Amino acid sequence: MDFRDTAADAEFRTQARTVLERAVANLPGAEPATIDDRLPYFRQFQREINAAGYAGLSWPRAYGGREASLTEQAIYLEEYDRAGGPDRLNTLGEGLAGPTIIGFGTDGQKQRFLAPILSGEEIWCQLFSEPNAGSDLAALETRAEPDGDGWRITGQKVWTSRAQIAAYGILLARTGAARHKGITYFLLPMDRPGVTIRPLRHMLGEAEFNEVFLDDVHIGDDLRVGEVDDGWKVAMATLSYERVALATGRVNIRRLIEELITMIGRTERDGQPLGEDPALRRKVADLYARAQIQRVNGLRALASLEKGTPGPETSIGKLFSAPLVEDLADLACSITGFDAQLYEDDTLDPWLRLAYQARGTSIAGGTTFIQRNIVSERVLGLPR
Amino acid sequence: MRVELTDEQQFLQEAVAGTVAREASLTAVREWAQNSDHGQADALAARQGWTGIGLDEEHGGQGGGLVELAVVAEQLGAAAVPWDRTLAGCLAGPLLASTGTELGAELALQTAEGSHVSILCVDGGRPPAALPEAAIADGHAGVEATYVLGAAAADELILPVDDGDEIALFAVSVTASGVLVRPRVIVDRTRSLAAVSLDDAPVRTVGAVARAAFRAAAARAAVLTAADALGAAGTLLALTTAYVADRRQFSVPVGSFQAVKHAAAEMLVDVEASRSAVQYAAWAVDAQSADAIVQASIAKAYACAAAARVADKALFLHGAIGYTWEHDLQFLFKRAKSDLQLFGSPDRHLDLIAAHLPLLPVGERTPQPVG
């Protein structure tokens, strides 16, 4: 057992750090607030990363990727966070759509779509969830009807992040009656007639995701991925590509705990340093411990995935990390009290935003409760 | 990075599990516990060479480090095997050897062989870096220590005394005059704790060790207790999943109820997160990583608290049968609850972790918890 980087991984880490630090230094000022303004900011960063050979880390070299191991991918994400890289606006393109097209797409699709993902030119979104198909994705009702040499698609998708800046979406639509065996996988141009994007404001009032209405949208058969009625298999593959992100957690928890500790070190209450409060010290120590454990959970999960025999440690990532982020943000908010709840001049306290986002994370991609069902059935073998 | 156990470590794990299944099953443990007789378990540990793991071969040990010892600890905790004398000896051995003295080497060797066992005379209810208040004068010692782990079956008590830059170690034979070792019975009868009273007892000077070496011994104590708790938690989870899949009410297995599933899933998260904490801390101590001491407290605080949570859920999911004397759950339940206190409660270890975090303005002195 050795938790240190191997010589090769250490070399990879050093190189990635250099590239990332340079790309961050070249960015024009602070990251803009709105998603529209963040897009050119992100594209500049992505172009530089791509030129240095760090885009499409997991992709085969033949398609412009780096064929990085899972460990290298995790190291890259750690270094990305450490360098303070910008909001990764095309995770769905680079992490999900790209690998799916590589695995299941036609030669034409590979030629058309892969390069603009790597360069950041085309942003992707995911058109899976529907109002009546959340945790139960196979209940989706959006229909694709054959129409000459193509398809006509009608239905409604929801919780679609970044639809407003996306060029394409990966789409699941019903082509047959069978629950799983009646779903087909498509690539949908977001600028086609009949596609309506309506911002969906979350409980803080911000439009973080969208509803997407599809009204008789026509696309060619060349935008179908995999066989007709065989889209469930492709979708499951798409979701499996999320495994590194899921195993290692998507929030930079170690940076958060450091910021929390710094904030406490600078705060006084009733004229006394807040950091002297014994109860608070224990709470922070508990969060610090869990943050350390969270990282090791991720490393163990990656090792297990890399061996090809995922063990129970790969299933607990979200169940462990989601409450940790909530507790971290809540403790920070409890220290600053109403100051954290101020919502003046369209400005929100970052800890408060995190506290709300953490609730969203606990719901997204299968709520914590559903995750517990899945873990107890698939890992512990409890009866359905 | 190599996050998994090596082949040798896996082989050790399987070997210990096999021995425990054959010679120290819960049936055997029940008998030993009811008679408060740990002699057979102590003899088994010596026969198997577990007493020498973590002590290098040149000192007569089996080699290996804390990672290997933690592997053993988890397997013994998994069957609630009494092994406190062995555990206490494994903590004392490397410390004795590191004095570099002849007596230190001799005591370490005898402890590793299991022939004449030395244990650390520290209060088992606190982090072991907190030294007992001892008075040493003219080759004699006076001290009162409570809940000393493994003392009841030990041959030699090793008294650590603060000596400025170093920790001085003195050996006291349990048969010497002025030595009173009074075994204490707690509800977890797989535990061996004793009150030790030295009243003008003759001591032999063993030598001295660096403070860092003593802190490392304290870290080893924390990690091994955490590993023991992890083992108990793993078995509690396995017993529970088997039971709820089998037990039927309302014509269905109770394991099909979501309330049961959610509790079981939380148990798994606790077990796996504890495993992360224990493995990382064991490695960090062996690798002399800069934050090894903090990682040991993280493992102790998290894994022991988690095992106690798992024990409560296991009991609840078994229903009344789990609350009976006849059911084996009691041994693991009580073991988890006594591991919680052994070498310091989670709160005491959280205090130790907090002391390493810059929670006060620059220039303010961080309050240093004892231990």
CATH 1.20.140.10 fits A242-378, yes or no: yes
Question: Residue B136 domain-assigned?
Answer: no
User: DSSP assignment of A260-288, as one string?
Assistant: HHHHHHT-EETTEEGGG-HHHHHHHHHHH
User: A285: Cβ–Cβ under 8 A, 6 or more apart, which residues?
Assistant: B301, B350, B351, B353, B354, B357
User: A253: Cβ–Cβ under 8 A, 6 or more apart, which residues?
Assistant: A291, A294, A295, A321, A324, A325, A328
Q: Which residues share a beta bridge with B183?
A: B194
Sign for the pseudo-dihedral over CA of A306, A309, A312, A314: positive
- Burial of A154 from C-beta contacts in 10 A (0-12 / 13-18 / 19+): middle
Query: Tens of pLDDT along B126-158?
Result: 998 888 888 999 999 999 999 999 999 999 999
Q: Catalytic residue at A48?
A: no
Measured between beta carbons, which residues in chain B are less than 8 angstroms from residue A285? Answer: 301, 350-351, 353-354, 357
The answer to whether the Cβ–Cβ distance between B354 and A381 falls below 8 Å is no
Measured between beta carbons, which residues in chain B are less than 8 angstroms from residue A5? Answer: 1
pLDDT at A224: 98
Query: Tens of pLDDT along A305-321?
Result: 888 777 777 778 889 99
Distance (Å, whole) CA A94 – CA A124: 8
- Burial of B249 from C-beta contacts in 10 A (0-12 / 13-18 / 19+): exposed
Query: Which residue is associated with the tokens 């890289």?
Result: A85
Mean pLDDT over B257-283 rounds to 97
Question: Residue B255 domain-assigned?
Answer: yes
Q: Which residues share a beta bridge with A2?
A: B2
Count other Cβ atoms within 10 Å, centred on residue B57. Answer: 11
The answer to whether the Cβ–Cβ distance between B262 and A288 falls below 8 Å is no
Residue B318 has pLDDT above 80, yes or no: yes
Taking only residues 294 to 333 of chain B, the set having a beta carbon closer than 8 angstroms to any beta carbon of chain A reads 295, 297-298, 301-302
Q: Which residue of B has its CA nearest to A299?
A: B3
* Residue B303: alpha-carbon gap to chain centroid: 12
> In this structure, what token pair is assigned to residue B10?
């896996």
* Cβ–Cβ < 8 Å for A267, A300: no
User: B292: Cβ–Cβ under 8 A, 6 or more apart, which residues?
Assistant: B216, B219, B281, B284, B285
Report the percentage of chain B scoring pLDDT > 70.
98
A300 in contact with chain B, both atoms CB, cutoff 8 A: yes
Strand intervals (E) in A221-263: 224-225
Question: Residue B7 domain-assigned?
Answer: no
* Residue B41: alpha-carbon gap to chain centroid: 15
Query: Tens of pLDDT along B65-86?
Result: 999 999 999 999 999 999 999 9
> In this structure, what token pair is assigned to residue B122?
């520290």
Count other Cβ atoms within 10 Å, centred on residue A365. Answer: 18
* Cβ–Cβ < 8 Å for A336, A307: no
Question: Residue B154 domain-assigned?
Answer: no
User: B299 to chain A nearest CA, in Å?
Assistant: 8
- Most A CBs within 10 A among B8, B240, B261, hence the mutation to make, goes to B261
What domain range is B235 assigned to?
213-355
Q: What is the pLDDT along chain A (384 residues), one digit of tens a residue?
A: 889 999 999 999 999 999 999 999 999 989 988 888 999 999 999 999 999 999 999 999 999 999 998 889 889 988 998 898 998 999 999 999 999 999 999 999 999 999 999 999 999 999 999 999 988 899 999 999 999 999 999 999 999 999 999 999 999 999 999 999 999 999 999 999 999 999 999 998 888 899 999 999 999 999 999 999 999 999 998 888 776 666 666 567 888 999 999 999 999 999 999 999 999 999 999 999 999 999 999 888 888 888 877 777 777 888 999 999 999 999 999 999 999 999 998 888 999 999 999 998 888 877 899 889 989 999 999 999
* Cβ–Cβ < 8 Å for A204, A356: yes
Distance (Å, whole) CA A198 – CA A56: 30
CATH class as words, domain A124-230: mainly beta
pLDDT at B216: 95
Given B253, B265, B280, which is nearest A375 (Cβ)?
A: B265
Distance (Å, whole) CA A166 – CA A102: 20
Distance (Å, whole) CA B18 – CA B16: 5
Query: Which residue is associated with the tokens 């908010």?
Result: A333
* Residue B199: alpha-carbon gap to chain centroid: 28
Distance (Å, whole) CA A53 – CA A56: 8
- Identified catalytic residue from A206, A211, A242, A259: A242
Length of chain A as a residue count: 384
Beta-sheet pairing, B166-173 with A272-273:
unpaired
Please state, rounded to an integer, the average pLDDT across all residues of chain A.
93
B185 in contact with chain A, both atoms CB, cutoff 8 A: no
Distance (Å, whole) CA A174 – CA A181: 9
Residue B194 has pLDDT above 70, yes or no: yes
Question: Residue B96 domain-assigned?
Answer: no
Question: Residue B285 domain-assigned?
Answer: yes
Query: Tens of pLDDT along B97-133?
Result: 999 999 999 999 999 999 999 999 999 999 988 888 8
Nearest alpha-carbon partner for B41 in B23, B54, B27: B23
Residue B211 has pLDDT above 90, yes or no: yes
The answer to whether the Cβ–Cβ distance between B273 and A320 falls below 8 Å is yes
Q: Where are the domains of chain A?
A: 7-89, 124-230, 242-378
pLDDT at B131: 87
Name the domain count of chain B. 1
- Most B CBs within 10 A among A258, A280, A376, A384, hence the mutation to make, goes to A376
Report the percentage of chain A scoring pLDDT > 90.
76
Length of chain B as a residue count: 371
Question: Residue B351 domain-assigned?
Answer: yes
Distance (Å, whole) CA A173 – CA A185: 7
- How confident is residue B367, by pLDDT bands cut at 50, 70 and 90? low
Distance (Å, whole) CA A20 – CA A29: 16
Give the CATH number of the domain where residue B350 resides: 1.20.140.10
Nearest alpha-carbon partner for B349 in A288, A41, A4: A288
Nearest alpha-carbon partner for B213 in B143, B136, B120: B120
Alpha helices, H only, chain B: 7-23, 26-34, 39-48, 66-78, 84-97, 102-113, 211-246, 258-286, 292-318, 329-341, 346-355
Given B1, B245, B253, which is nearest A71 (Cβ)?
A: B1
Distance (Å, whole) CA B181 – CA A226: 76
Nearest alpha-carbon partner for A150 in A180, A197, A187: A187
Residue B371 has pLDDT above 60, yes or no: no
- Write the ipTM: 0.95
Distance (Å, whole) CA A49 – CA A77: 13
Helix axes B26-34, B39-48, angle to 10 degrees: 130
Residue B294 has pLDDT above 90, yes or no: yes
Helix axes B39-48, B84-97, angle to 10 degrees: 50
> In this structure, what token pair is assigned to residue A67?
């064929």
Nearest alpha-carbon partner for A170 in A99, A87, A73: A99
